[in-house]
Amino acid sequence: MPVEVKQAVDWALEQTIESDFGEILYVNEDGKVDRHLLVDFVRGYFNENDVEYNTFSYGDLEPYL
């Protein structure tokens, strides 16, 4: 994993999205992490910050939570 993974995870845990139905979805809500959103946001962070990375899953991010 890239050295920026901790920064990416911390940032991702603060993010939200609005569903197609207008519902706000939180990556981290009441201590429960939405695994799919976390992975998506971490990938987005890496892409936006030109961080090179290999394929990863939620399991690869767990140590950084």
Domain locations along the chain:
5-64
Whole-angstrom distance, CA of residue 42 vs CA of residue 47 = 9
Torsion of CA 26, 54, 51, 32, to 10 degrees: 20
Token pair for 48: 């936006």
Cα dihedral across residues 48, 53, 58, 64: positive or negative: negative
pLDDT at 21: 95
CB 9 within 8 A of CB 38: yes
- Say what the pTM is: 0.89
Q: Is 33 helix (H, G, I), strand (E, B) or coil?
A: strand
So what's the pLDDT on residue 26?
Answer: 94
pLDDT at 30: 87
pLDDT in tens, 17-61: 999 999 999 999 888 999 999 999 999 999 999 999 999 999 999
